[in-house]
Structure 1
């Protein structure tokens, strides 16, 4: 029998698994069933116990965290453990089980949602003053249908700046931590997050390519060299020594990079794994990741022919459905904050005008995109606000009054509350004179 600090008594039900730091059991109390992690004894045991006690007292940052709830002792066995919620493993799965085919793959909508939820959760953790310290794909489970996530094994979380007994896992550590130049903190969390996001989208590791394929013994020494001492991004535009392209063993990663990752996401990964490797200040911030995946959420589109979920890339020319190859019917985007693919049934939101608002603040619908009543394949934009908008096309100004609509044409400009939006064809933005001169 386990006895909690709260006075609750927990009865052993079954063993769920074990790892380097302890074993996990299913236990039962009068309040229901829980998971209980019994920590292995060691020189840092008392420090870890105090750390977990702090986490319990300060409380969970959010529902995505399987957070410690109660410290426990055993009535006959020395040591300690802690109680946490049980994970519904019928719903949530590890990434490894998805990759090996044991569980269904997430579609693009679930991938975007999972990425956004992970960034939101880590942002909430950092806002509370914590650092995760041991963020890895092994701590993450996701619902492949909805994209909802949970983060578990949170007993290594510390208040940012405090000493921690755990440095992380080789594949997911920031170089400065792996080289013992800096302890894990919120800056290293950003690097680990980028590694996990890359893994989610490509099923690969950003520092594994042509050079790592030549390594015969993939031990800790090799990992230290390629992950920390001399890492080279496998899609580095300026260094092809470790490229994934042209390597048969890495073609799945290359195809997912080319087909699933829009240009803006590729740019974020390039920054994270080139400039951001050694320069902590150049790492992609949580607000930037959240903004990126929020924009991508508005660019998801079911194929009109087969209903397969596609992701429209505003920086690419129109292409067919990833599954059936039929046209997706999107030719235009509204460019403001990010870009909104023009198609019937979607809404123009405050996000597209001014970016992310405060957390928990609902998005306001400014306008709705509808089928053109006469021109097949065209769309109209209806003003759902209480104020008129200015609409300029072919050098002429028009007013879109509340409740009224106008056809969207390439080259048009919409002004809402003093902010301008541009209607453009899908594809790269035209170069400015300044860009051409670089």
Structure 2
């Protein structure tokens, strides 16, 4: 949620920054016009309530003076004022709902350092990394080897990814991990969680269903309600699209102790997504599923520390890819490509040799006080004694299924086996996956 005072006091600047976020020109004008109506109604209501108090005093004085005529007139005036107040309250309730709805659909404003542009073609690469010794792996070849297979083909050949039965049981974009596939997925997320714990994150095991209020606090609702899986009576609960929702809401409606900040938390959870806008995209494989595992990182910080913490969180995500020795690059997203609640986002994209391109595997964002305002998450400043909104940061560390897919593609061998990355071997228990040990 944006600060309405900032929008009022910096109208032109705010309007341009919203246009940069692909908000239509005129949307802010409508919001501020309704906000002024709301404030005008509040002033009128306050004046009428003050008048009601005066009339109440007049009634009391007239009764004490036994002036029945004056008392009856004052009572009549009271009834008139009460009716006016009731009418104003109705108008005020309607305009407040309108203002709140409009404000809830406005995205966060981008940090000035974010590249301005309407789409992903304006994203800017920050850095690129690959292992120094690729040891004959696919990325080492200047030309794609003829034996190279897509991750879903490898998985099906080895019998470790079962898409056909996933579709039979649940429909499109579902699968079973089988044998070594399930063990590899488990090895990957246990490795990720251990790495984040070493970096100071506290691990949580969260609910997988949350209230609509929780989805509102993190910015998923109301704008993206069609992308969510709503469940329960009257659709009062939602399956989480990311552990970010449960992690941020862990401290919703709370005042944190300043000594707790920065607070680092992490969780593994399934993510449930409708993928409403993904028709025809990535119809095969692990890239785009309705249910997938993801390790999420969240931070609560003081405002002055949040961008330094954003850089640290990005490094924490990069650390996973570097230890897995997977080639990747980091891009800074443009104003038109960032998520709804973000003020700045870095995407980490890992190399997929069969696609000859990088694919997103992590998105790391600073939402500044956008979520904290919606979720009423504050801390008391020890110097001023005043309450301040925290800044919240979130990042994938990483999407587990996409990491498995990247490993299958980047560690495949000509004989059809998969070499297990060295850091995963203590978790997986073997150094290769072959047809002999796939189950």
TM bracket (short chain): under 0.3
TM-score (norm 1): 0.20
| Greater helix fraction, Structure 1 or Structure 2 | 2
| TM-score after normalising by structure 2 | 0.20
Task: Choose between structure 1 and 2 for higher RCO, CA contacts under 8 A separated by at least 6 residues.
Answer: 2
